[in-house]
Amino acid sequence: MATLNYGNLGANTPPLEQWGLIGSELGLQQAAVRGKILIVDASDANRRSVRSALGESDHEWIETRATSEAIAAISLHRVDLVLIDLLVPELGAVEFCRMLKKATATQFLPVFVMAPSDDPDAEVLAIEAGADEFLITPLRPAAFRARVQASLKRKAMIDSLDDSETVLFSLAQSVEERDPGLGQHCQRLALMGATMGVTLGLPAPDILALQRGGYLHDVGKVAIPDHVLFKPGPLTPEEWEVMKTHAERGERICSSMRSLTPVLPIIRHHHERWNGTGYPDGLKGEEIPLLARILQLADIYDALTTARPYKRALSPEEALEILEQEVQKGWRDPKLVATLSDILPMFHTPTPPDFAPLSLHALAASIERFRKEAGHNKPNLLLPDPTNAHN
Ligand SMILES: [Fe+2]
């Protein structure tokens, strides 16, 4: 049985100072993101308690008592997050949320609906209307702050994209949303891919490409017919050929955008195999772009450890064992499987580090903290020389 090695995250991981560079490129130098937050609640006391739960001075605040005032506020200010009472006067939170999520200009604006008591029916309605969170008051400040931070960071990432990229990312998300079994697959992939990239000492543009690749690698599936994509049983050889086209289709969809050029090899080659038996080009060994090999491992690992209607979630050890068997078959890059094995403890420790989505600064800080807590600074001989790591 494969075991997780807690001591191997190695001396080759670059020092934290270097990651400030990455953070500044993304505009995410601070671990905590300050946002412009709109509270929509008729009760003065509720609005006060929300502000104090999040820290009065940590954000900019706009307060409104009803949805018409909220609409005016959103059209006048660049709001980063909406916190709205379920029973707010006029439209109510559910209708208000539906309206925001339908409009192109506000579809990515996060909305948290707050309810005074547990109400499963209202929760379903709110989530169906596109609410990002459904929270019960009184709020638990620590969990509330963490959710707000995660949302603000994601919003900052979306804001950093140009319009056409935003469209692509929403397309990629629609692939994920069409298949409820996938859950937060893309987000986890973006994080795990970026963590591997950081561990390998790759340059910042590569880490960014891995993050974006996490979201976009399967975007070509939008062009695969539902009867193939969601077929419950095994695919026929003809259907399989159709399914395999998603890699090239995805590359074609993204190829018109220059900013996504570094992501294209990930999209095209994430199903190649080390021994040349993969698709679409049958590339072998180091002919397969490094970033595609990295994201492929994260993709397989996440698929193995996620429950689906037809299979249980494997444990990290079981998933790693399967990857090691695939190394023996010649399908996977042995050094990268070892690197993945090194970082897995970070994702499965009882006190997980701050894996706030899409903040490379938080990611680098987590890696640094993990190294210090593990207390191991011995060289990891399995890691390639970082100067040669870049294809
Ligand atoms: Fe794929």
pLDDT digits (tens, 9 = 90+) for 178-203: 666 666 677 788 888 988 998 898 98
CA of 218 to the centre of ligand 1 (A): 5
Structure token pair of residue 80: 């980063």
CA of 189 to the centre of ligand 1 (A): 12
CA of 241 to the centre of ligand 1 (A): 13
Please give the Cα distance from 124 to 35 (Å, whole number): 27
pLDDT band at 31 (very low <50, low <70, confident <90, very high): low
Domains 17-28+162-388 and 36-157 share a fold: no
pLDDT band at 360 (very low <50, low <70, confident <90, very high): very low
CA of 349 to the centre of ligand 1 (A): 28
> Which range scores top for mean pLDDT: 5-14, 121-130, 201-210?
121-130
Q: Is 93 helix (H, G, I), strand (E, B) or coil?
A: helix
Please give the Cα distance from 371 to 309 (Å, whole number): 37
CA of 299 to the centre of ligand 1 (A): 8
Residue ranges of domains in the chain? 17-28+162-388, 36-157
Residues with CB under 5 A from ligand 1 (ion): 218
Closest CA to 110 of 219, 35, 192, 47: 35
Q: Which residue has the tokens 């994509």?
A: 229
CA of 258 to the centre of ligand 1 (A): 22
pLDDT digits (tens, 9 = 90+) for 72-104: 888 888 899 999 999 999 999 999 999 998 887
pLDDT digits (tens, 9 = 90+) for 304-339: 998 877 778 899 999 999 999 999 999 999 999 999
| β partners of residue 115 | 136
For position 162, what pLDDT does the model report?
58
Please give the Cα distance from 299 to 188 (Å, whole number): 9
pLDDT digits (tens, 9 = 90+) for 134-149: 999 988 889 999 999 8
pLDDT digits (tens, 9 = 90+) for 244-302: 999 999 998 888 777 788 999 999 999 999 999 999 999 999 999 999 999 999 999 99
CA of 162 to the centre of ligand 1 (A): 25
DSSP E strands, the chain = 36-40, 60-64, 81-85, 111-115, 133-136
The percentage of residues in the chain with a pLDDT greater than 90, rounded to a whole number, is 42
Long-range contacts of range 123-126, CB-CB < 8 Å, 24 or more positions apart?
125/94, 126/86, 126/93, 126/94, 126/97
CA of 267 to the centre of ligand 1 (A): 8
CA of 208 to the centre of ligand 1 (A): 19
CA of 358 to the centre of ligand 1 (A): 21
CA of 389 to the centre of ligand 1 (A): 24
**Close Cβ partners of 92 (under 8 Å, ≥ 6 residues apart):** 67, 86
Q: Which CATH number fits domain 17-28+162-388: 1.10.2020.10, 1.10.3210.10, 3.40.50.920, 3.40.50.40?
A: 1.10.3210.10
CA of 246 to the centre of ligand 1 (A): 7
CA of 217 to the centre of ligand 1 (A): 6
For position 325, what pLDDT does the model report?
97
Say which CATH class 36-157 falls into.
alpha beta
CA of 333 to the centre of ligand 1 (A): 18
CA of 159 to the centre of ligand 1 (A): 26
Q: Which residue has the tokens 């601070």?
A: 30
**Close Cβ partners of 87 (under 8 Å, ≥ 6 residues apart):** 93, 116
CA of 221 to the centre of ligand 1 (A): 8
CA of 370 to the centre of ligand 1 (A): 31
